[in-house]
Structure 1
Amino acid sequence: MAWGLSSLFPPAYNARLFRKEGDMKEIRWHGRGGQGAKTVSQILAQINLREGKHVQSFPEYGPERSGAPVRAYNRISDKEILIHSGVYHPDISVVIDESLLESENPTEGLNPEGTLLVNTKRSPEEIKKLTGYSGEIICLDADKIAKEAGTGFPNVPMLGAVVAVLGSDPKLAEGELKGTLAKRLSPEIVEKNLAAFRAGYEAAKGARENAPA
């Protein structure tokens, strides 16, 4: 016999479990093992918690091996978050590794009025043609940003891009990122990551400001 959640919880509880509040933002991260998708989803939660928001951050569990596709998720809201299910209809989909555009379907369930953020050299028009997504598409070369900053990891520039899309306070976000990284990295590496964060933030902000009306 197949069991569903409706068999386990009463209808009133189901409504609380799955209903998405109007102000809530849901984010889905697509990366590969070793690229830090889980880490930046946790840092994003800390940033918004510091802003007084209610937050959730959780990974999708599976085989944890280097290079394997990995997903992580966030929920951010001004109100208490009562949903405790997976994220199926995100408002923002973040693609840390461009190769996942074709293998992982990062636009699946994505809000038609949401944002697809992609680490790529390609243009939004090219990504639209590839994915068929008609909402906002923001492209930034996070690999190049990370290389120029001296970190080599595109997750932090993509975190900066998400902060820009959400409209969070960049100085507060930078301070939270600095405090988190300083616990396990040298001051020199922390500063390189902060530079990558700022560049990712500015790239996404600029792309949005310069997008065709």
Structure 2
Amino acid sequence: MYEIRLHGRGGQGAVMAAGMLAAGLVAEGKFAVAIPSFGFERRGAPVVAFLRTDPHEIRRMTNITHPDCVICIDPTVSRSVNIFSGMKTGGSLVLTTAKPLSDLAIPGIVDTVGLIDAVRFAIEIFRRPITNTLMLGAFARATGIVSLDSLKQTLLESEFRDAGLDQNLAALDRGYNETQVHRLGSKAAA
């Protein structure tokens, strides 16, 4: 079973991103369960969402405490939440940041890092810092767990059919194409 934890802030679409990712995985014939977590339920408060995927039926509906991958859709949330808490050794991190890898404090347990300045691209595409669709493209690029085509198909069949579809499709492409993937295998083994 592959487990993903998404970190963001209220209003950025972390819960919606988990649902779209689950739909993309199901479109590929995998089983997937998106589990939202609601706390303060206010715009700007830290938010977390969870997702499990497996080739077999999933019965576990609990929060994820030991993720294989962490997706952080807000560049400031790690200042108030330990996004690496419980992360499995050899895990993947998909992070929105304008900083280069050398300026980031990445723990040795992380094997793969996908970096994208998603806030800048979101402002260009949406005129707002809503990064969730960009980060789905970044996740597809960094991990290969889901294809870009499956995510696009999910959008085509979603609520975006009328409003914002073209922007979200562009965001998926941009997220996929602009993500820098770093393999840190030697660091994780140290």
Question: After TM superposition, is the score higher than 0.5?
Answer: yes
Secondary structure of the 2:113 match is strand
Q: Which has the higher contact order (CA 8 A, sep 6+)?
A: 2
Secondary structure of the 1:56 match is strand
> Who is 1:169 aligned against?
147
Paired AA for residue 174 in structure 1: K
> Who is 2:107 aligned against?
132
User: Of the two, which has the highest radius of gyration?
Assistant: 1
> Who is 1:108 aligned against?
85
Secondary structure of the 2:158 match is helix
Secondary structure of the 1:182 match is helix
Structure with bigger helix share is: 1
Q: What percent of counterpart residues are identical?
A: 31
Structure with bigger strand share is: 2
- Normalised by the size of structure 2, how large is the TM-score? 0.88
Partners of 1:175 and 1:115 lie apart in 2 by 24
> Who is 1:193 aligned against?
168
> Contact (CA 8 Å) 1:150, 1:192: kept in 2 or not?
yes
> Who is 1:150 aligned against?
126
Where does the alignment leave 5 or more consecutive residues of structure 1 unmatched? 1-23
> Who is 1:75 aligned against?
52
Partners of 2:121 and 2:15 lie apart in 1 by 20
Secondary structure of the 2:137 match is helix
Residues 151 and 172 of structure 1: CA distance in aligned 2, closer, same or farther (over 3 Å)? farther
- The 5 A counterparts of 1:16-35 are 24-35=1-12
Residues 84 and 179 of structure 1: CA distance in aligned 2, closer, same or farther (over 3 Å)? closer
**Displacement of 1:59 after TM fit?**
1.1
Partners of 1:114 and 1:191 lie apart in 2 by 32
Partners of 2:89 and 2:102 lie apart in 1 by 16
Paired AA for residue 79 in structure 1: H
**Displacement of 1:193 after TM fit?**
1.2
Deviations along 1:140-190, one digit per CA (max 9) or x if unpaired, are 10011112223521111001111223422211221211221434x42xx21
Paired AA for residue 132 in structure 1: P
- Normalised by the size of structure 1, how large is the TM-score? 0.79
Partners of 2:3 and 2:184 lie apart in 1 by 25
> Contact (CA 8 Å) 2:87, 2:109: kept in 1 or not?
no
> Contact (CA 8 Å) 2:35, 2:63: kept in 1 or not?
no
Residues 75 and 151 of structure 1: CA distance in aligned 2, closer, same or farther (over 3 Å)? farther
Deviations along 1:178-208, one digit per CA (max 9) or x if unpaired, are 221434x42xx2111111111111223xx22
Number of residue pairs matched? Answer: 182
Where does the alignment leave 5 or more consecutive residues of structure 2 unmatched? 186-190
Partners of 1:38 and 1:166 lie apart in 2 by 20
Paired AA for residue 51 in structure 2: N
Root mean square deviation, CA, Å: 1.8
Q: Tell me whether 1:203 sits opposite 2:181 in the alignment.
A: no
